[in-house]
Chain A
Amino acid sequence: MHDLEAMPARLEAFLATVRPNDTAKVHSYELMTGGYSRVMGRAEVQWSNGVTETLVLRGDPPPEKTMLVTDRDAEWAVLQCLSKVNTVAMPAALHYDATGEHLGTKAIVLEFCAGPSLQSQLGKLLASDTPADDPRCLSHRDAFVDTMARVPQVDLAVMPTSMVRPANWDSYMDTTNALWSQSERTLVESNPTMRYLGAWLDAHRPPPMDLVLQHGDLQPANILLDPIDGSHRLIDWEYAHIGDPREDLGWYVVYSASSLPSLYGPDPEAFLARYRQRTGTSELQVNQATVGYFSVVSAVKVFSGLVAAASAMGEGKSNGVMTMYNINAATIGHMNFMAGCNALAEPLDALRSMHQQMMASA
């Protein structure tokens, strides 16, 4: 995928192996911008029957440029399973070069969606100073919440057997909270904020919920809009996992703090009320305090990836300007997570007490 000149011929050869009864001519191949973690390519293809098609290729960057490590085999397995159910709309996952033998790196071939991303549409509204209570903003917010609310409704029975299935909520939180400390101990230098966050999360657990499918990076740049009806297609499932349903909510709060406009910030209660209504969850479970807690929980994998990439660079094992550019996101994370911990301790403790009283009386 990285050799632009060689790619048309390589892709033609790959397509011949997955569609042996057709012949493909690749008229163009170019890299796409928009994603930070994977390399994305776009190819214009004409088949022997005259049909033309645009394909999207999604593969791993060269090892020395890798900032966030995720597993293409796992992502392909998730995409195949999600394709069998219609709970969440997404671009069709068409083919997979599982070894990188043909495309130079493990790569998933996807259907191309011609529409813009939700982020770009929101960016236009932001640029024109559209107020947050404008009907267009509210419509985007509601549609975004609805997309987010569909993910936990995916039947876990259809998901890959290889996906980690935690025994229960408490053991899941044990494992997830420990990631902050575990990740920190692999770095070339200490990071006391990460150690604080792991210890703080353990000391302030909210009421539990049933574990469900979570996208892991659910934000407007990962939602493509259908060019005709504006319906959503959710992409980039590399962080999909079975976890607490408040993780995607929390991650969006983290993400939107540095990628405006936020669909949550102007009216969190309206956002969460719609989410609760769409998912049948309670206010004791889904509220600003628990979402704040899971904003810290959900950030660990991406955050650890950012600082691990800087750590590898510090050890001379990698390079790339994007690594040091993105370390600023870690700065924002440090600042916001600490502010969150300071603000959330009391409300979380109160929620836990309420939950314990309810359990006792039940």
Chain B
Amino acid sequence: MISLPSTDQIILDCRRELLEVIGPEVHTEAGKVSVQMVENVLRNAAQRAAHEIAWMRDETVAMEAYAADTLAALPSAPGVAAALVALNDGPRQSLHLQDMARVYSLAGEALSCALEAALAAGHQELSSRASALLGDRSANEVQIMGEWGFVGRG
């Protein structure tokens, strides 16, 4: 396959076409709002295309480690063991996007069960660590978002 221009470059070029060629021809208020929204979504999609596989892989490793550590500290934590088994049974060797997303979601479920147990038990160190993991996750989301504000409101 021809890999360059990369997917994110292609999407950003579509965005340029939208802004420079299509947008000026749109004259209704609803149409203009729609163009602004599509422009934003294309920017988001380009950022995801460029980085999401790496981000999901890195976060999955961290989430799995957290769940395993929680299970060691709180062996009766509800759902954590089963969630780790499900994660282990997931399509972990595949790099296809749907499979990556599936494994990422399974790791998220393991993290969720673990952090619920940590907060309910008042386990300070594990609670803080969960918060830090979610902070890292949020930082990636913010990179996808870029500049954003409501359009068409008010």
Contacts and interface: CB of A to CB of B under 8 A. Distances in A.
Contact size class for B?
35 or more
B106 interface: yes
Contact size class for A?
35 or more
Contacts of A120: 154
Contact of A258 (B38, B107, B150): B150
A191 to B, nearest CB: 7
A305 to B, nearest CB: 15
Contacts, number: 114
A341 interface: yes
What secondary structure prevails in chain B residues at the interface with A?
A: helix
B93 to A, nearest CB: 20
Contacts of B105: 188-190
B49 interface: no
B116 A199 contact: yes
B37 interface: yes
A119 interface: yes
B141 interface: yes
Contacts of B30: 31, 33
B101 interface: yes
B91 interface: no
B46 interface: no
Given A33-B33, A335-B138, A203 B120 contact: yes
B153 A259 contact: yes
Interface string B125-152: 0000011011101100110110011101
Interface of B: 29-30, 33-34, 37-38, 40-41, 44-45, 63, 101, 104-109, 111-112, 115-116, 119-120, 122, 130-131, 133-135, 137-138, 141-142, 144-145, 148-150, 152-154
Interface of A: 31, 33-34, 36, 117-120, 123, 181, 184, 188-193, 195-196, 198-200, 202-203, 220-221, 258-260, 321-322, 324-325, 327-329, 331-332, 334-335, 338, 341-342
13 contacts: A34-B154, A189-B105, A190-B112, A191-B108, A199-B119, A199-B120, A259-B149, A324-B44, A324-B45, A325-B40, A331-B144, A331-B148, A341-B131
